[in-house]
Structure 1
Amino acid sequence: MTKSVLSDADWSGKAFTGEWRSLSGEPIVVTEPATGQPLGRVGRATASDMRTSAAQARQAQKSWVGMPYGERAKVFRKAAALLESSRDEFASWIVRETGGIPPKAMFEIDSVLHHLHEAAAMLTQPKGLVLPSAEGCTSIARRVPHGVVGVISPFNFPFLLSSRSALPALATGNAVVLKPDPRTPVSGGVLLALLLDGAGLPKGVLHMLPGDAEAGEALVTDPDVAMISFTGSTAVGRRVGELAGKNLKKAALELGGKNALIILDDADLDLAVCGGAWASWLHQGQICMSAGRHLVHKSLVADYTQRMAEKARTLPVGNPHTQPVALGPIITPQQVQRVDRIVKASVSMGARLLAGGSPDGQFYPATVLAGVTPDMPAFREEIFGPVVSISAFDSDAEAIALANDSEYGLSAGIYTRDVGRGMAIAEQINAGLVHVNDQTVNDDGTMPMGGRGASGNGSRHGGPANWDEFTQWQWTTVRSTAPAYPL
């Protein structure tokens, strides 16, 4: 990619519909959370813009799915090569727009590269079965695309989470209308559109329209959109699921989490503290898989709490674009207020604040709460901030009960030297992802990612699950001679 993405005037104030064009809404100003300064502008989609793009995408999908599979695979491979050559520039956008530290940005880029290669590989995978049938009849079940898939992605890992849905949807023959979060529309939309356009994706197959709730509801309810893939908060996910259900379309919902990290009495405490810090403070805790509850055996809880508090006090907080910090800014002032409310309310109910807990503008330090009980907000609510919430337990049965005492069911981690014991506990945890001797924040494009309960509707992204989500079965029979029926 020869032109600078940062200074590219082609997309400034615009959206992508196969070409960069202005929309009818007032442009969105992209703001750097660390400084409050504007970084650029993108187009803002209205319901009318969404309607137009959905109709165009439906038409473009027919020629896309009819292209030779090798030509479609080339698009993804070329996009991967373009991303490799633009790695530093893309990372800079992700750092500045999301407030994430540079290693987090590089993780996103590496993950998207993985998804691009997986998308290319999907084109040579079998997509059907020959079923048992009577003599003279061939019975086939094959995977066919939905048509148009709407993708609504969040702010926290925008480049990755837009790509995780859009790329397999495209690879399986669908067209995509992508609505990135208006707080991170460049990382969540512009970057992917630039890549795929530069790689030769046919015009109209991908539409990228930033927008707010009006645009999102228009996408979910549009009759030309057959499926919605949504990643975001549980509250918004409930609304998306409601609208999709009313319109009889498929919805894949990956929502929030209040994930349990269980530290058993035989755990390696050094590794558990290391994993616990990563699970709660990575990207300021703004990850659906963050450890929202550290459940620690009573024989270790005092030592674990002390070590975690000591570690919290050593982690620098600041602008990740200009400083070597461990924690960057929280995405918005409103989210800072939410984190601070949960911390203060839990302290007022008896939790002990051992580190952090004092916001500075949009910066919130690594925070440790001890003595958290199930009636406190720090135990119940998804914080989406850098808060370690510690509760003690006495037995494996109590640990399991505490872990399952939540409406959420996304991820869990268990630290123990006894793998068999860890596996026995894992089998009783109500979560879509469970890791024995690892923490809760794990992601791999080849595994089925998703939750249950308030964490999702059982849908999955990644690996073999992509075929389940982004295609549907069609049964076809072929007979050499038509049968004669008795009526």
Structure 2
Amino acid sequence: MALLDPKDWLSLHGDPAEAVEPATGEVLATLMLAAPTDVTDAAATAAAAQRDWARRPYPERAAVLRRAGDLLQQHAAEIGEWIVREAGSVRGKAEFELRTAAEECYEAAALAHRPLGQVLPSGAPRLSYTTRVPAGVVGVIAPFNVPLILAVRSVAPALALGNAVVLKPDPRTAVCGGHVLAAVFAEAGLPEGLLHVLPGGADVGRSLVADPRVRVVSFTGSTAAGRSVGALAAQHLKRAHLELGGNSAFLVLEDADLDAAMSTAAWASFFHQGQVCMTAGRHLVHASRYEEYVARLAAKADALTVGDPFRAQVHLGPVIDRGQLCKIDALVRESAAAGVRIAAGGTHHGLFYRPTVLADADPDATGPGSVGASPAYCEEVFGPVAPVRAFRTLDEAVALANESSYGLALGVVTRDAARALELADRIPTGLLHINDQTVNDEPVAAFGGLADSGTGSRFGGEANLDAFTETRWTTVRATPAAYPF
């Protein structure tokens, strides 16, 4: 029996919309977007339902999360097809999303069992302790690129810890990033009123952040949008957990094994068409290995297949829409005009952009061809583009890695792991991977970036407890206290 029913996607009060397959332009389904009034109604319903949910025994909440994980696996073929077709994902990426989404639910179920607080020492004759209490209603704003994971990683722990959730998925992936979760949790036995899925535009996002019943906002998206969300949340005195963009560095030291590193390097920039915040946007390679590295990475890029991931086995699918394609192509064209060499790719057919390697962005370059004039190196491309730049000393590598205002992920490839750890201590990032690439995520690990990449590790493992609960201090005396009044 199918899990999803398109009739459920027509009850909102915004504009009609279409779920479109970027590979072909085919309309997969018709749905309604949310309006700001839907946010008001959903937040009110969620706040009322949350109080009973928080009082439910923890094994009951945990059981719902476990069933949700099981259902994601049981309906993997149906959900996976939506991820492939609506998000433009290759099948392997869709399988990864489903597997990780189920693990997120299982890990969230375990959160319901965690100790609620701690007993504190006190200078007075009383019992003093802290408890974690649900935040209340959690607003989740999730993007299009890894839609299922980037929604469920907040939805699941928030529900497990006794909260209600209002989820705004990106309208371009409203089904696989939103309506899928509504169907899964309803089938898993989540009581009505606790999860609301409201795909919509910026007006819906603003209403969600501003609604007084929403006490915590979990946002994943661009740095520009995240600044607006953070400012509005601060204006309304509520917490905002912001996981934003990146332009991560991938450092290749002079002792690196390039035979082993090429797969890692290509995955770092080309996985899911480069539409991942952790993507390696700057390959920094020791000058003694630079030419060989560029040639090998270009050959790897040229060997990758690009096409319709639903109808063929390919390495890369389409980018999400024409706006994203134009941004990617403009950054590559501007960089080439500034003197950067296109070693591979740089072309597209429809929404299918070839994996691209940009070279000759050397620090000794002068004039308009210098790296400072290369926007594809300096900016987050969010496309399958790998700019490569040489360094000559470790101090120079550190300086180049720290040039970016982002601080999400760092990859270091070397035969000397101890040296890599010492080097990484000089490059502030939220995530570090030695002899691995920058696109890594596990439900048990805290995840987040620094500086323009966000407000630190806000998701995963123990970080979920801090993200979706409040800490209450309680004292208890046997008799009323006496004071000198």
Q: Tell me which interval the TM-score lies in, with the shorter structure as reference length.
A: over 0.9
Tell me if structure 2 keeps the 8 A contact 1:356–1:365: yes
Q: Do the aligned residues in 2 keep the contact of 1:42 with 1:210 (CA within 8 Å)?
A: no
Matches of 2:189 and 2:30, distance apart in 1: 25
| Corresponding residue for residue 2 of structure 2 | 3
2:60 to 66, 71, 88: 71
1:290 aligns with 2:279: yes
Output the CA distance in 2 between the equivalents of 1:401 and 1:42.
49
Match of 1:269 in 2: 258
Aligned 1:204-219 pairs, distance under 5 A? 204-219=193-208
Contact 1:460 1:469 in 2 (8 A): yes
- Counterpart amino acid of 1:405? E
| CA distances 1:333-372 after superposition (whole Å, capped 9, x unpaired) | 0110100111111111111001110121111001110022
CA distance in 1, matches of 2:2, 2:349: 37
Alignment partners' CA distance in 2, 1:62 and 1:117? 23
Query: CA–CA distance in 1 between the matches of 2:226 and 2:460?
Result: 19
Matched, 1:441 2:439: yes
Equivalent residues of 2:2, 2:78 under 8 A apart: no
SS at structure 1 position matched to 2:43: helix
Q: Distance in 1 between matches of 2:285 and 2:116?
A: 46
Aligned-partner SS, 1:183: helix
The percentage of aligned residue pairs carrying the same residue is 51
Matched, 1:160 2:159: no
Q: Tell me the residue number matched to 1:180.
A: 169
Q: Does the 8 A contact of 1:75 with 1:196 survive in 2?
A: yes
- Equivalent of 2:222 in 233, 238, 245: 233
Q: How big is the shift at 1:10?
A: 3.4
Q: Helix, strand or coil for the counterpart of 1:457?
A: coil
- AA in 1 matched with 2:439: V
Aligned match of 2:134 in 145, 160, 163?
A: 145
Give the partner amino acid of 1:296: V
Please name the residue that 1:411 is paired with: 409
Quote the residue 1:245 is aligned against: 234
Q: Distance between the aligned counterparts of 2:419 and 2:457, measured in 1?
A: 29
Cα-to-partner distance string for 1:270-311 (whole Å, 9 max, x where unaligned): 222211100000000000000000000000000000001111
The answer as to 2:58 corresponding to 1:80 is no
Runs of at least 4 residues of structure 1 off by over 3 A? Answer: none
2:348 counterpart letter in structure 1 = P
2:422 alignment partner, SS class = helix
Distance 2:3 2:205 in 1: 30
Alpha-carbon distance, 1:408 to partner: 0.5
Of 357, 361, 369, the residue aligned with 1:368 is 357
Q: Deviations over 1:227-252 (max 9, x none)?
A: 10000011110110111011111000
Q: Is the 8 A contact 1:29 1:39 kept in 2?
A: yes
Residue 9 of structure 1 and its aligned partner are, at CA, apart by 3.8
- Which residue, 397, 400, 406 being the options, matches 1:399? 397
Residue 471 of structure 2: aligned partner:
473
Alignment partner of 2:423 out of 422, 425, 433: 425
| Alpha carbons 1:459, 1:469 under 8 Å: kept | no
CA distance in 2, matches of 1:226, 1:135: 33
Partner of 2:364: none
> Is the 8 Å Cα contact of residues 426 and 436 (structure 1) preserved in structure 2?
no
Please point out which of 316, 327, 331 is paired with 1:342: 331
| 1:75-133 residue CA offsets vs partner (Å, 9 max, x unmatched) | 11111221221111111110001101000000000101111111111111112010011
Larger deviation, residues 394-403 vs 368-377: 368-377
Q: Give the Å deviation of 1:4.
A: 4.9
Amino acid at match of 1:86: H
The answer as to whether partners of 1:262 and 1:415 remain within 8 angstroms in 2 is yes
Deviations 1:136-159 (A, max 9, x none): 311011111110000000000000
Supply the AA of the counterpart residue of 1:294: H
1:189 aligned partner: 178
Amino acid at match of 2:7: D
CA RMSD of aligned residues (A): 1.0
CA contact 1:122–1:172 (8 Å) conserved in 2? yes
Contact in 2 for aligned 1:136/1:481 (Cα 8 Å):
no
1:325 aligns with 2:314: yes
Which residue in 1 is equivalent to 2:82? 93
Q: Report deviation, 1:190.
A: 0.7
Partner of 1:452: 450
Q: Please give the alpha-carbon distance, in whole angstroms, between the structure 1 residues aligned to 2:480 and 2:399.
A: 60
Q: Distance in 2 between matches of 1:204 and 1:245?
A: 27
What is the TM-score normalised by the length of structure 2?
A: 0.97
Cα separation, 1, equivalents of 2:237 and 2:87: 34
Q: 2:159 aligns with which of 170, 185, 196?
A: 170
- Assess if the C-alpha contact under 8 Å between 1:148 and 1:176 holds in 2: yes
2:48 aligned residue: 59
Aligned to 1:279: 268
CA displacement 1:47-91 (0-9 Å, x = unmatched): 111011001100110000011111111111111221221111111
Q: Which moved more, 1:130-139 or 1:189-198?
A: 130-139
Q: Secondary structure at the match of 2:7?
A: coil
> Is this contact kept in 1: 2:65–2:188, CA < 8 A?
yes
Structural mapping, 1:121-136, within 5 Å: 121-134=110-123, 136=125
Counterpart of 1:478 in structure 2: which amino acid?
V
The aligned amino acid for 1:399 is A
Where do 5+ consecutive residues of structure 1 fail to align?
A: 15-21
CA–CA distance in 1 between the matches of 2:61 and 2:315? 40
Q: Deviations over 1:313-352 (max 9, x none)?
A: 1111100000111110010101101001111111111110
Counterpart for residue 389 of structure 1 = 387
Deviation at 1:134, TM superposition (A): 3.3
User: Is 1:48 aligned to residue 57 of structure 2?
Assistant: no
What amino acid sits opposite 1:266 in the alignment? D
Alignment pair present for 1:31 and 2:20: yes
Distance between the aligned counterparts of 1:473 and 1:276, measured in 2?
43
SS state of the match for residue 251, structure 1?
strand
Inter-partner Cα distance in structure 1 for 2:260 and 2:273: 20
Aligned equivalents of 2:395 and 2:407: distance in 1?
Answer: 18
Return 5+ residue gaps in structure 2 as ranges. 362-370
- 2:148 partner letter: F
* TM-score, length-scaled by structure 1: 0.96
Asked whether the 8 Å contact 1:43–1:209 carries over to 2, the reply is no
Supply the distance in 2 between the matched residues of 1:29 and 1:95 (Cα, whole angstroms): 16
SS in 2 for 1:300: helix
Partner letter of residue 111 of structure 1? T
